[in-house]
Amino acid sequence: MCLNVSELIKILNINVTDGVKQEDFINMATVLLLHVFSGEFCNGSKDVISKGNFTIEDIRAELVNSIAGGTESIDIDEADLEGLLKKYLEQYSETDHGHTDEHRVKPIKENCVSSDLLMEQLGVRHGHHVVKDDVGNLSALLVYHIVAGSKVAERCRNLPMPSYFIDELFQDAETMSEDYFLTTILGFLRTTVTSGTTGVNDGHNHKRRRREALEWNRCFLGEELLSIFSIPDGKNITKANFASICPALVQEKLMGSCDSSKKVQEEQKTVTDAQRYGYSTVAVVLVCLCSLLGAVFLPFAKRSIFQILMEVFKGLAVGTLVTDPIIHLIPE
């Protein structure tokens, strides 16, 4: 090693008598990584130290250029980190696939480091870059993994991040339009029939009866849901808004509030016995009154126009009987 501890302290101009502070450790990690990756402080490092040519900003910029492959880059992306790990630490090891004796699979492999995990631990979202100001934190993180003996892998995650699902729904955007939510998301949830839903409801009949007594156990309109959760009309829906609406959608799905068959049953339940007998009586009376209209034609029974009317009605009857089955068979 061309760089020793005393030279490292001189380069950073720090006082370690009271211990190394967090900021000092980040700067030390940056210098160490630059030394490992480019050998900057070998062959003449004492001249560099004596002249004081290096500032921590220069070291960070030099480290970014080294990681980015020598290009004049201002940030580091995930591909650069992947190349760095593969080139300078060790070859990818696929011997550990995250299988353990435990029943539950751990989301992240133990003692593992990868480019995507580094970006995640730095708080950098997928598709974004590590800016120069965060190079110190990246250096400290890499030094930690080196000291901890972490193995380099192509991917360290066995399971996706919790935010993966909502990010997929939002298509890597911060908000979704109200129209997309009402037509696509809400429409899909309320038209898809899932097997086993009836069994869930039947298994909790005692709870279901109590809940059905509540007036709010109904299928709300999309606009009503937005109003319930205080989402302004015409505004885009944020991830926090969507997360707050999801329990309402799950409750509606489990309770079958928006099930079309349940709506028909509820409509049938709203018709009383008095209404049934009343409507049927009115229908019979109307049919009888219509039949009395035939008496109007009795004065014309001995005239030729009566025969013409009868032939017209016969033609209508035959035409109806013939065309009705034909029209019913056309869709088949």
pLDDT tens sequence across 248-295: 887 777 777 777 655 555 555 567 888 889 999 999 999 888 878 777
Of 94, 124, 152, the domain-final residue: 152
Residues sharing a CB contact under 8 Å with residue 257, sequence separation 6 or more, in sequence order: 217, 218, 219, 220, 251
Q: What is the pLDDT of residue 264?
A: 55
Between residues 283 and 141, the one the model is more confident about: 283
Do 207 and 288 fall into the same domain? no
DSSP 3-state assignment of 18? Answer: coil
Per-residue pLDDT band for 103 (boundaries 50, 70, 90) equals low
Count of structural domains within the chain: 3
Q: What percent of the chain has pLDDT over 90?
A: 4
Distance of CA 187 to the CA centre of its chain: 16
Q: What is the pLDDT of residue 295?
A: 76
How confident is the model over 173-193, as a mean pLDDT?
Answer: 73
Of 88, 119, 152, the domain-final residue: 152
Strand 175-176 relative to strand 112-113, pairing: unpaired
How confident is the model over 219-239, as a mean pLDDT?
Answer: 82
Do 20 and 138 fall into the same domain? yes
Do 318 and 206 fall into the same domain? no
Range of the domain at 313: 273-329
Does 234 reside within a domain?
A: yes
Strand 237-238 relative to strand 175-176, pairing: antiparallel
Q: What is the pLDDT of residue 281?
A: 93
For the whole prediction, is pTM greater than 0.85? no
Do 185 and 99 fall into the same domain? no
Q: How much is the mean pLDDT over the chain? A: 73
Per-residue pLDDT band for 40 (boundaries 50, 70, 90) equals low
